[in-house]
Amino acid sequence: MTRENKIRKCNTFFFSKYPIYIGYFLRSKMRGGSALASEKTKCIDSGSEYCPCYLAETNDCLVCTHLQGKGFCDCSWSGVCIYQDFFWCGNKKKNYRTESEGLIIDKKQIGEKVCIFKIKISKTLARQLKHPGSYILIRDPEKPLIFNVPMSIMSADEINGEIEVAVEVIGAKTKSLIDCSEKLLIKGPFWNGILGLKEIKNLQNNNVLVIARGIALAPTLLLIKYLLKNNNMITFLVDSGKIGEVFIMDRLKELDINLLQINLRSEHGLDRIKSLLRSKKFKFLFSGGADKLHKILLNELSSFENDIKFASTNNSHICCGEGICGSCESKISDGTSVKMCKCQLNARESLGKVEK
């Protein structure tokens, strides 16, 4: 066999066995090797033990163009190839999140509508839930699956296998949780409770302004601990909101932060925020609360030249957490549909979303 025939035979075997490289090679040659996928395709589960997921089986993957049925490679994911991983798994999804029982260790009532649960879970799950933006689906063991409700993690102790969540009574699902005293069913981990995680994880040795109101105080606790670990200096403006009490105050007093309690709905409170932002002291702003608060802060940022990075709580209507049910799907400003339970967007971009 001639040398050319040997090379041809080798290439035929290689590309038939590993088709992913054909698309990558062609895309690199035609487009200079640049990844053209936008921030909208950043999936929070990419590279985790839950990737590839159900969406890969239905050609709806948020990242991989092969698993979107397009037949070529044009993603910006730099980890282990999702398509190749799917191929190695026998063209099936990997692991999926399962439910487990959590024992209620402590239950503390805050005012009339908020209850803080301390729950005993596995140490592995507690470790997976210690990152900013972590949340779980939780329900009364006596209720059916439709009672699953997303709940942000307030704190996670991987040494003892414990987590804390703050539940605000709003409707039927949360009312059923308040009556639980022994056990809760927990499904997780989920991680997309905060938008702008890339900015947060790259933040070191900077001045940070954190603003949170009401029940959104809960997820800010993990965020602040993470920022402090990376040697950031934090000014935290807190507003008790409708709850009437800053229920994490005892935890905040233990941390090395500049703590200010204000009314974000008052003219004085808004003036204080504007003054802090215009001081050009801060390089990062986090908004914890309703989308209305996010937009007020972004409008203020846009009124003057600044390079302040921005992140916020994800206030989408999350139901399954897996991108299947479509309850969280929204269109952003350019008309693109995104699954807000899994898409890790730029926080500014997410606030340009429109109604379904």
Model confidence pLDDT, tens digit, residues 229-250: 999 999 999 999 999 999 999 9
Looking at residue 341, its pLDDT comes to: 94
Model pTM score: 0.86
Q: Which residues 6+ apart lie within 8 Å of 271 measured at CB? A: none
| CATH architecture entry for 99-190 | Beta Barrel (2.40)
For the residues 147-173, what does the mean pLDDT come to?
96
pLDDT of residue 37: 37
**pLDDT given at position 347:** 85
For helices 20-31 and 3-17, angle between their N-to-C axes, nearest 10 degrees? 100
In angstroms, how far is the first alpha carbon of the chain from the final one? 62
What is the fold of 194-315?
Rossmann fold (3.40.50)
- By percentage, how much of the chain surpasses pLDDT 90? 69
| Closest to 212 (Cα-Cα) out of 142, 279, 273 | 273
| In the chain, % of residues over pLDDT 70 | 87
Phi, psi values for residue 318, rounded to 5°: -90, 135
pLDDT at 1: 52
- For the stretch 16-54, pLDDT in tens is 444 443 333 333 333 333 333 344 458 999 989 999 999
What does the domain layout of the chain look like in residue ranges?
17-88, 99-190, 194-315
Instruction: Say which range, 176-180, 345-349, 352-356, has the weakest mean pLDDT.
Output: 352-356
Give the Cα separation of 290 and 69 in Å (integer). 37
At residue 330 the predicted structure's pLDDT band, cuts being 50, 70 and 90, is confident
Whether 62 and 53 have beta carbons less than 8 Å apart is answered as no
In this structure, are strands 149-157 and 99-110 parallel, antiparallel, or unpaired? unpaired
Question: Does residue 14 surpass a pLDDT of 50?
Answer: no
Q: Specify the pLDDT at position 352.
A: 65
Taking the C-alpha atoms of residue 7 and residue 171, their distance in angstroms, rounded to an integer, is 66
DSSP H stretches of helix in the chain: 3-17, 20-31, 54-57, 82-88, 123-128, 172-178, 197-201, 217-229, 249-252, 267-278, 291-302, 347-350
pLDDT at 271: 92
In tens, the pLDDT along 182-218 reads: 999 999 999 999 999 999 999 999 999 999 999 999 9
Quick check: 112 pLDDT over 50?
yes
279: nearest Cα among 239, 311, 238, 235: 235
Sign of the CA dihedral 200, 202, 208, 209? Answer: negative
Angle at 126 between CA 324 and CA 180, to 5 degrees: 75
Chain position carrying tokens 């308040």: 178
The answer to whether 207 and 283 have CB atoms below 8 angstroms apart is yes
What is the per-residue pLDDT for 336? 78
* Statement: residue 252 has pLDDT above 90: yes
Q: How many whole angstroms separate alpha carbon 24 and alpha carbon 75?
A: 9
State the Cα angle at 316 between 312 and 318, rounded to 5°.
Answer: 125
pLDDT of residue 240: 94
| pLDDT tens for each residue of 286-305 | 999 999 999 999 988 888 87
pLDDT at position 73 is 87
Residue 41: the pLDDT is: 53
Query: Residue 302: CB partners within 8 Å, gap ≥ 6?
Result: none
